[in-house]
Every structure is written in structure tokens, then in C-alpha cells.
Structure 1
Amino acid sequence: MTDLKNGLTYAQAGVDIDAGAALVEAIKPLAKATNRPGVSGGLGGFGALFDLKAAGYDDPLLVSTTDGVGTKLKIAIDTGLHGQVGIDLVAMCVNDLLAQGAEPLLFLDYYATGKLDVATATSVVAGIAEGCKLAGCALVGGETAEMPGMYSEGDYDLAGFTVGAVNRDGVLPRLDEQRPGDVLIGLGSSGPHSNGYSLVRKVVERSGLSWDAPCPFGDGTLAEALMAPTRIYVKSVHPLLKAGKVKGVAHITGGGLIENPPRAIAEGLEPRFDWNAWPLPPVFDWLQREGGIDDHELRRTFNCGIGLLLIVARDQAPEVLMALLDAGEDAFVCGELAKA
């Protein structure tokens, strides 16, 4: 017969249901602030509904992406700078949608930890909500998993999931329209974004600097500079996609400027970068010098100052460039397409 007097509880097993409920209540106003046309229902259900007709689509295709933040999380955990990795999480997903010509509509997150710290989790989700506002998509739900024994004390992991839409005639890349001489326009990054941080951490280890040391290539501490959130390009770029001004988009993530551009370029063509067309940002110059990283390794690991790459017809390039500059982007011509 079961001894109920000495029975176990979920809390004794390491899972605090009350903390989970407190987190849900804390993030409800954050999620509500990201509401947009098309969202149906609120946070807390078993799923999220979205009305594509209310969002203005008449012949839509759905596009979904998922991503994480990588080992940039280790810096957040080691330094307590949790507020911005949520922006990174959204950015890595929604910028991928742009490469298909799509507009981000809704976002969900997955937060996993060994023991739930409500303050830390709320800070992370606040960043996710801010990223959703920057991208114009709604935070419609997610999952918080408290898993004792799976993570070391203080550790957590993140995954993001986004769904977007594009009308059938707006899907990118438009490979059959690409030609030699098409212009490559780069949009400036805010730093390494969320890629290459295992190498970043190795360089910092070699430098002997602590995370709270003055930044050797900018303002604030070294950690603050390296935690600059990934830029979200949706509001400046999506109008150009809807207008049919762009033939292809490459989100420069893991693989840098070597591996990512070919994913958006037609067979028989290749990108020819003018590597002198933009200055290497100070963070990458410091990483290269401090780590003894050669040019090819740098370019195949980091974005080197270009977070998003657009492929545009030569006669459309001045108009596109001006629109990006007017929208507040650091945009510049950085090369062209050529026969492979």
C-alpha cells in the first residue's frame, strides 16, 4: 500500500509549478504588446490561431523557420546580460524569412533550464517581445521547460520558431531573373550577431581579458560590446521585397560571407565581392588580430560587417540603396554577380 504520509511532490523532484505560473503571468503583458492584425486568441491556450485574410494575403504561402542563439548564451549566463539574447533569438528566425520574401507573422519560443529563475526568464522573454515588435510579428506562445539534472545551475537554452507568409508571386530567390552584373547591396551588421561565438570565446580566452574589462575596440565592457543584439531588417527590407525590387536575399549567419550568398544565387553565377568597398568593423579587426585568424577563416565564420545581402538589378540599385538609407540602414554596394 502506498505511504501517502511520506509521498513526494513535483517540487521535491526539482520542478516548481508555482514559478512556472508566475512566469506566465509576468510575460502576458509582454506578449500582448506584440499583437498584430491576424492574431486570434491570447496567450495560454494549447495553440495559436492566425487569420491570413485579416493580415492582407490573398494567395499566400506559409514559410516557417527555427533557430537558436548558439554559445552567445554562455556569455549571457556568465555575465548576467540576459536582456538582449531574446532579440537575437527573434532576429535569427525572422531575417531567414526575408530570404524567402516572407513577412514574419507570429513567433513562439522554447526556454529550457534546470531550475526556473523567474527574473532571468522574464528578462529573456522581454527581449523576445522587443524583437517581435522590431519585426512586426506577434509573440503568440511558447514553452518553458524546467528539467532538473539536464542543465547545470544557472544554465538555460533557447529556441525560436516563426511563421511568415508571402504571396505566391513574391517568393525569393527569383533565380531565373538573376544576371551577371546584378548588384550586391550589403546591410551593415551590429557585430558578430549570433554566429561564431565559440571562436569569439576562444579569442577572448587567449586575450586574457575578463568579460568586465574595458572594451578594446569600443565603448563599455568587452561583454557588453560582444552582446550587441542581432539587427532585425524586416521593416526596412520587406517593403522592397513586396515591391519586387529584389531578386534574392542572403542572411549572413554561420558560414559567413563564403557559405551563405550562394544559397540565394542561381547556378552558373557567383558573388564577386569588392572586399575594399566597406571597412572591416572594429570588433572583427580585433578578433582577427587577437586570434591570428586569416582572411578566409574570418569570412567563412563571421558576417564581417554585412548582416544581410540583397541581389538587385543594376538599374534598380540606386533606388533600393536610397530607400535603405532613408530607413536608417547602413547600406552599401559591395560587389556584383558574375559568371561562375
Structure 2
Amino acid sequence: MSEQSSIYAQSGVDTAAGDLAVELMKSAVSKTHGPEVVGGVGGFAGMFDASALLGYKKPLLASSTDGVGTKVAIAQAIDKHDTIGQDLVAMVVDDIVVVGAKPLFMTDYIACGKVVPERIADIVRGIAEACAATGTALVGGETAEHPGLLGPDDYDVAGAATGVVEADRMLHAGLVRDGDVVLAMGASGIHSNGYSLVRHILSEKGIGYGDHSNELGATYGEALLTPTALYTGPLLKVLEDPSLDGAIHSLSHVTGGGIAANLARVLPVGSWVELERSTWSPLPVFRHLADLGGHTLESLEGAWNLGVGMFAVVEEARATQVAAALTAQGLDTWVAGKISTAARDFTGFEQGAKGVNGGAVRLVGNFAN
């Protein structure tokens, strides 16, 4: 270690540990690189050859950035860090596919109180594996040590990605028509939203993340770290199927804000849908946590996905075909509702969200057992 590095280490920043972390993650990151990635790992900037975009008539770039919220607190509590990376990719890349875009590349950022090389490598390995699964090149990242601001075992993660879609193939609310069918796609668990409520419920009950849950068949920590499902790969294959060209009109990723609000964002003003709760049964993790907190499942529809990770609004005539194609790609898919543009009173409906003045959505009926 140089004298300069030694002096820096005395303040709490270990550059040697950072270098070791890069060495441990380098192989996993390199596996996400195709011929489009220029320069490999370690440059000041990630480089991506965009000459493939010359084949587009009017390429639109899609970008997204996100983190995984307070789910990281559970990973830190049980010292398990190999799933958070997939959560990050899912939260970022699955927002890009919502507009029909193919992800091109991603960068990540990890802020921590102390660089523990093996821990950082676990996180980035998870990011890289999920990037590979979604066809996304991981072209760069940054690990920043913040001693005095974060505790030695504290960290947070964030990422940003860029994708591309041909302008006339972009998915959006303007394509949605009266009679379109809403297909729901199953979630793997809580995904990466609503964990502040999860943590509050467990804290109120005095339950630790290492405590075993008979209802969940695992410790609470293990069950709650089930990684967020990745929808990008399967959705792109269906979107690229010539027999289904134009059949999908809009997609909605069910993240923060809950079920109805996220779907409302991708519906046109004046349209509405009633989602039938009876078409699915919320996963055991939702039922158990609701019971612990003394909540009804219905009251949690604005906080948790309750088992629905993505919606597709599709042409009625090919809805069965699209559902079959999604199922064949490994996504549990079912019909949850039907779009209408008939005039009606929207009392009790969610109408748009996050600045979008969209359609109207509400959930009706009772959940399946």
C-alpha cells in the first residue's frame, strides 16, 4: 500500500479493498459483455458501440433509474447479499421493457460504510447474473466508501439502464382500445416495494429476521429476500413474435404505488377497468404479513403487489394467444379484467399516478382462497 493510500485508509477509506472487490466481480461482469461493449472493466466510463442503432428508422432511447429501497436492511440483518443484485436489475430494466424497449446497458452504484470485498462481489455478481438473463450489458459501476456517514455494515444500491425501441413499436396508453383484455403476470413475492411496512409489522410483533416461520417454511429473512421476478426476457420474446405483432398495447410494472395506480398510468383518459380479485390468490407471504399486522388484504393493495408483478393490456382477439405465449415463457398469466370506455362514475377508482393523468382502475370482488 502506498503512503498516500495508507493515509486515506486512516480516515476509513480502503482503496485496496475496493480494488480487491473489483477483481472478485470482474469475471461475472465480463460475462454480460458482447462485442458492443468497448474497453472492458475498469474504465472511467462504460463504452457501448451504438452502431447497431443505424438499422433503426427512428430509434427512441428509453432510460430508467431506481434502487431497491429498504429491502437492503433485511439483507444486511441476515448477512445475505446475493439476491439484492437481481432486485436492482428487475426494478430498473423491467421499467424499460414497459415501453417495448430492449435494454442495452446498465451501470450500478453501491454506497457503503466499509468495503468488504466479498460482500460487494456478492451484490455485483447478482447484478451481473440478472443483467445476463435480461440481455443487458453491465458496462460500469461505482463502489463508494462513506465512513462516518454509513455504518460499517450499511450499504445502499442504485442503478440506471438504457434501452432502445423503434418509434412505431413503442407501447403506450394511446394504443389501448375499448374491449382490450388485461392480463396479469404473477409475482415471485413482495419484490422491492413496501418493505418499510413489512419491517414495521415485524418490529411491532417483536419478530426477528432469523426467526423461523411455519407459514412461510423458512426464516423471515430468507422468505423476504426472495428476489424480484425478471419479466424482460420473456416479454421481449413475445413482443418479437411475428404472429403477435401489435397484439400488446401497453404494459405496467407493478412497483411503488400498488396495483391499481400502476395500471392506471398506462391506460388512456376516459377508459376504465375493474380488476377481478377472484382471478388470483395472494401469495402466502402477503396473507401471513397481513394477518400479523391486523390488516385486510384489500387495505394493502396500494402498498404491495399481492402477487401481480406485471400487467399487459392486449388486443381482445389475440388475448388467449398472448396469454399462452407468456405462459410458455414461464410467466404465470391470467385474465384479470377488460377495458371499457363507456361513460360511468369513477368514484372509488384510482385515476393515474405519479404525474400521469391516465385511466381509471379499481379492484372488485374477493380474492380466491
Normalised-by-shorter TM-score class: over 0.9
Deviation at 1:57, TM superposition (A): 4.6
Amino acid at match of 2:41: L
Number of the residue aligned with 1:293: 295
In structure 2, the residue matched to 1:98 is 97
Q: 1:8 and 1:132 mapped to 2: Cα distance?
A: 35
Correspondence for 1:256: 258
% identical aligned pairs: 40
The aligned residue for residue 273 of structure 1 is: 275
Q: 1:56-135 residue pairs with structure 2 within 5 A? A: 57-59=55-57, 60-135=59-134
Q: TM-score, normalised by structure 2?
A: 0.87
For 1:310, the equivalent position in structure 2 comes to 312
SS in 2 for 1:300: coil
State the partner residue of 2:180.
Answer: 182
Query: For structure 1, which segment, 49-58 or 270-279, has the greater mean C-alpha deviation from structure 2 after superposition?
Result: 49-58
Q: CA RMSD in A?
A: 1.8
2:282–2:306: 8 Å Cα contact kept in structure 1?
yes
Letter in 1 for 2:113: G
Shift of 1:270: 2.1
Structure 1 residues 16 and 258: alpha-carbon distance in aligned structure 2, compared to 1, 3 A threshold: same
Instruction: Using the TM superposition, give the Cα deviation of residue 89 of structure 1 relative to its aligned residue in structure 2, in angstroms.
Output: 0.4
Q: Deviations over 1:229-285 (max 9, x none)?
A: 000011111133343221000100011102211111111112310110011111111
Picking from 199, 215, 218, the partner of 2:216 is 218
Contact 1:185 1:311 in 2 (8 A): yes
Q: Which residue of 2 aligns with 1:241?
A: 239
CA distance in 2, matches of 1:216, 1:162: 39
Q: Tell me the distance in 1 between the aligned counterparts of 2:55 and 2:198.
A: 42
1:319 matched residue in structure 2: 321
Superposed CA offset, 1:93-136 (max 9, x none): 01100111111111110011111111111111111111111211
Query: Cα distance 1:185–1:57, how it changes in 2: closer, same or farther (>3 A)?
Result: farther
1:52 deviates by: 3.2
Deviation of the 1:42 alpha carbon: 0.7
Cα separation, 1, equivalents of 2:334 and 2:18: 46
The letter of the residue matching 2:196 is S
Distance (whole Å) between structure 2 residues aligned to residue 8 and residue 248 of structure 1: 55
Letter in 2 for 1:223: G
Q: Distance in 1 between matches of 2:258 and 2:165?
A: 26
Residue in structure 2 matched with residue 167 of structure 1 by the alignment: 166
Displacement of 1:335 after TM fit? 1.0
Is the CA contact 2:175–2:250 (under 8 Å) kept in the aligned structure 1?
A: no
Q: Structure 1 unaligned runs (5+)?
A: none
Q: Is the 8 A contact 1:191 1:305 kept in 2?
A: yes
